[in-house]
Amino acid sequence: MRWTLKEYLNRHGLTAYQLAKASGLSVNTIYPLARGEAQRVSLDTLQTVLDTLDKLTGQRVNVTDVLEREVEEHEFSDGVPDDLRERIGRFERGEVKLIPWEQVKAEQRAKRGL
């Protein structure tokens, strides 16, 4: 498992300190979560973090927004180049978006002046 809380906070313009203050949890609890260092967290703490993020963002926040399952290297890498694996990872983390193929073709035609 891997914490993605920091990425979530960054996408919503929030800091770990703001989360700590708004949640009533200590920075000693929130900072390790944001840094991805926390190995264990109680369900009550996780619920408090999610509830607080709901309030701060105005959106429903799920466990999968702040925590993701890491795929073991051997499960995924057979025959997949490292650069492609990294690009897929960025897509899964929401860091990049897919562009429809028709849009790509249209942009290529426009560049060639067709």
pLDDT in tens, 37-82: 988 899 999 999 999 999 999 999 999 999 988 766 555 556 778 7
Verify that 64 and 83 share a domain, yes or no.
no
Verify that 95 and 64 share a domain, yes or no.
no
- Domain membership flag for residue 20: yes
Verify that 37 and 90 share a domain, yes or no.
no
Name the domain count of the chain.
Answer: 2
pTM score of the predicted model: 0.61
One DSSP character per residue, the chain reads -EE-HHHHHHHTT--HHHHHHHHT--HHHHHHHHHT------HHHHHHHHHHHHHHHSS---HHHHEEPPPPHHHH-TT--HHHHHHHHHHHTTSS----HHHHHHHHHHHHT-
- Give the span between the Cα atoms of 35 and 23, in whole angstroms: 17
Verify that 11 and 46 share a domain, yes or no.
yes
